[in-house]
Chain A
Amino acid sequence: MIRLEDIWRTFVMGEQTLHALKSVTETISAGEHVSIIGPSGSGKSTLLNVLGCLDKPSRGRYFFDDRAVEGLDPDELAQLRLNEIGFIFQSFHLVPRLDALANIELPMILAGIARAERRERARGVLEAVGLGDRAAHRPSELSGGQKQRVAIARAIAMQPRLLLADEPTGNLDTRSGVQILDLLEELNQKGLTLAVVTHDPEVAGRADRILEMRDGEIIRRISATEFSAANPIFDRGGSGARP
C-alpha cells in the first residue's frame, strides 16, 4: 500500500545541513503492523510525518496506493489525510473545549458530513473504543487512557486505511498502555494498516515487523519473532524496558 523510494528529508539551518532521512526505501503492505524504533533524533518521527503527508520529502518518491504523493497539491494532501490516514499522538491532541463526541466529530465536520449522521457515527466509534458512556465528557474529565481512546476513535471515524501512531502509550501508565495497544491490535486485525513510532520495546514487539532507525537510515528490519528473542518480555503487564 505504501512505497517509499530513496526518500531524503533535509533541513538547512544556516550553514548546517541536517539529513533527517537518508535514502529511505521501504514498502508497507496493506494490513501490516509496523513499528519504527530508534534513539531520539534517528528520524523516526520525520519518517512518520512523511508517511502521514504532513511533511514533504526533499527527494525521493512516495506512492500511496500507487498514487505519487509528491505530485499532489496541498488540498489533495489534506483530502488524503482526511480520508485515508488517521493520526494518534503521544499527547492525544484533543481539543480541550470540546467534549469527547465533538472531538470525534471534527474530521467528519471537515468532510462536511451532516450533523445527524456524524453524531451517530461518532457515537458508534466511541462505543467501539469502549467509552460509550463518556460522550459528554471534556478531555479534562477523562483519564489518560480514556483520552487516547477518544483520540483513536477520532482517528478511525473517517474509516481510514492507514493509522499512524507516535508514541501512543508514551504518556500512559502501563495498564492503560496495554489496553491502548490491545485496541490498536484489534483495529489492525480488522484490516487497518498500522505504523507505530516508539522506543518502548514492548510496544514495538507487538508489530509484524520492526524498522530500526539510526541517523536517518533504516539500519535493520526485524521480524516479530527475531525481535522477541532479542528482547525477552517476562511480564507483559509491566515491562521494565519502558523509558
Chain B
Amino acid sequence: MSAEDTFRFAITALLQQPRRAGLSLLGVVIGVVAVIFLTALGEGARLYVTEQFQTLGTDVIVVIPGKTETTGMMPGFTGTPNDLTIDDARALLRRIPEVIRIAPISMGNETVSYENKSRQVVVLGSTPEFFELRGIPIALGSGLPEGDIDRGANVAVLGRETARELFAEENPVGKSIRIGEWRIRVIGVNGPRGTHLGQNLDEVSIVPVATGMRMFNRTSLFRIMIQLRPGSDIEAVKRKIEAVILDRHDEVDVTCMTPDSVVDSLSAIVSTLTLVLVGIAAISLAVAGIGIMNVMLVAVSERRAEIGLLKAIGATHRQVLLIFLMESLVISTAGALVGLGIGYATIHFATWLYPAMPAEAPIWAVASVLGLSVLAGVFFGVLPARRAMHLDPIIALSSKG
C-alpha cells in the first residue's frame, strides 16, 4: 500500500466526519496559533527594547543616584543617597578622558499653560548635549543656550505636540508661558522624534537643567547621561565613574547602566516569559493531541466493520496501523498548517494595529511548534491505531457495517 494511497484513504475517512475532524484539528490550530503569536509578541518586545537602546548608541552610560546591588531594589528607592549634582557631572567630564559629552538631567511633571490653555507634561531639565544624545531635532527657534549650566535661564524648548496644543497655528517662539509657578520664555520647538525609551519626546518640554532643579525643588539630578569616545572600554569607564563618585561622596551611591546591561536584563525577563508561553503552548498541544486520540478511538470503534473487512481482504497489521496513524497525522499536520497561516495573519493584524510594536515569530518557535504538533499526531494516534490493528477480524466483521 503506497503512502499516497494511505493518504487518500485517510482523507476519505476524515471527510466522512468533517465536523469531528475539523474540531479535533481546531485544537491543534489553537495551540499552534498560540505559540506563533505569543512568541512573536515576546520576540517583538525584545526587538523593540533592543532597537530603542541601540539608537542610544553602545557608548553611552547612564548614571543613576542610588545603588542597586546593596538592596536589590530599583535605583532611586534606596534610602537617601547623596545628591547627584551638576558638579558631579562636571567632575566626571573633567576627570575621565573617555567622557566626551555629558547631559545632566532633572525631571518633573508640571502644568504648562499659555493664555487659557494648559496641559500636564513631563518637563526635563538638561543641557544642549541632551538633544544630541537623544537625537532630538529642533524644528523652530533654537535649542537650549550653551554656557553656564549652573545659572539656568527661564527658557524652554517645547515638544511639538505640546506646542501645537497650546499654540495651534501660532508661532510659539518668543512667547511667554507658565510652567508650574514659573514664567518661561519659549525659545524653540522640537522636531518629530516620537516615543523613545518609553518617553514620548514630542510631548516633553525641555528647560535648562538648573532651571529644572529649581522648578521641581530638587537638589539631586534625576540622572546623568554620559557619552564616551567610540571604542572605549565601557567596564573600565564604569569603574572610573565609581572612583570619581567615591572620591566625591565617600561611597559609591550611584548605579551605572549601559544600554547593553538594560537590554540584557530585559532580554532575560522576556526570555523567561517566552519560555512560560512555550510551556503553556506545549500543554495546549498535548490537550489537542488527546482530542485527536479521542476522535480516533471513536473512529476505530465506529469503523470496526471496515477494519474487519480490511483484514479479511488481506490487510496486514502494519497496513491497518498505518491507515489509522495516517488519519491522526493528517489531522495534526493540517492543524499545524492552518495554525501557521492564522498565526502569521494574526501577527500581521497586530502589527497593523500597533505599527510601533514589532512582532516577529522566531524561526525556532515556528519550526518546533510545527514539529511538535506533527509529532503529537503520531504520538496520540498510536494508541487508537494499535487498537484497530489488534481488532479481531471475526468480531469486527460481525458488527454492523
**Which residues of A are in contact with B by a Cβ distance under 8 Å?**
49, 52, 54-55, 74-75, 78-83, 85-87, 89, 91, 93, 95-98, 102, 106-107, 109-112, 115, 154-155, 158
Contacts and interface: CB of A to CB of B under 8 A. Distances in A.
Contacts of B308: 93
B168 interface: no
B252 interface: no
A89 B397 contact: yes
A75 B316 contact: yes
Nearest to B8: A109
B312 A52 contact: yes
Contact of B314 (A49, A91, A110): A110
A109 B3 CA distance: 11
Nearest to A55: B394
Given A93-B397, A110-B310, 8 more contacts: A55-B394, A75-B317, A79-B316, A98-B12, A107-B313, A109-B1, A109-B5, A111-B314
A93 B305 contact: yes
Closest A-B pairs by Cβ, 8 of them: A82-B314, A81-B314, A78-B316, A97-B16, A93-B309, A107-B313, A109-B5, A87-B312
Contacts of B2: 112
Nearest to B314: A82
Contacts of A98: 12
A110 B313 contact: yes
Nearest to B318: A75
Contacts of B5: 109, 112, 115
A109 B9 contact: yes
Contact of B394 (A49, A74, A93, A97): A49
B393 A54 contact: yes
Contacts, number: 76
Contacts of A81: 311-314
10 contacts: A54-B311, A55-B394, A82-B315, A91-B400, A93-B401, A98-B12, A110-B316, A112-B5, A115-B5, A154-B313
A89 B393 CA distance: 13
Contacts of B9: 109
B319 interface: yes
B129 interface: no
Nearest to B312: A87
Contacts of A80: 314
Interface residues of B, number: 27
B266 interface: no
A87 B311 contact: no
Interface in B23-54: none
A89 to B, nearest CB: 7
A81 B317 CA distance: 13
B306 interface: yes
Given A54-B393, A91-B401, A112-B2, A106 B316 contact: no
Interface of B: 1-2, 5, 9, 12-13, 15-16, 305-306, 308-319, 393-394, 397, 400-401
A80 B393 CA distance: 15
A81 B394 CA distance: 14
A107 B314 contact: yes
A138 to B, nearest CB: 11
Nearest to A111: B314
Nearest to B393: A54
Nearest to B2: A112
Residue of B308, B312, B313, B394 with highest tally of chain A CB at under 10 A: B313
B314 A95 contact: no
Nearest to A102: B12
A78 B12 contact: no
Residue of B13, B316, B318, B400 with highest tally of chain A CB at under 10 A: B316
Contacts of A83: 314
Nearest to A154: B313
Contacts of B316: 74-75, 78-79, 110
Contacts of B12: 97-98, 102
Given A97-B12, A109-B5, A87 B394 contact: no
Contacts of A49: 394
Contacts of A52: 312
A78 B397 contact: no
Contacts of A107: 313-314
Given A54-B312, A81-B314, A97-B12, A110 B400 contact: no
Contacts of B319: 78, 110
A106 B310 contact: yes
A49 B312 CA distance: 9
Contacts of A106: 309-310, 313
Contact of B313 (A74, A87, A97): A87
Nearest to A49: B394
Contacts of B315: 78, 82, 110
Residue of B1, B2, B309, B311 with highest tally of chain A CB at under 10 A: B309
B303 to A, nearest CB: 9
A89 B312 CA distance: 11
Contacts of B394: 49, 54-55
Nearest to A99: B12
B298 to A, nearest CB: 16
Residue of A80, A87, A95 with highest tally of chain B CB at under 10 A: A95
A107 B316 CA distance: 11
A7 to B, nearest CB: 16
A165 B13 CA distance: 27
A79 B313 CA distance: 9
Contacts of B313: 81-82, 86-87, 106-107, 110, 154-155
A98 B305 CA distance: 14
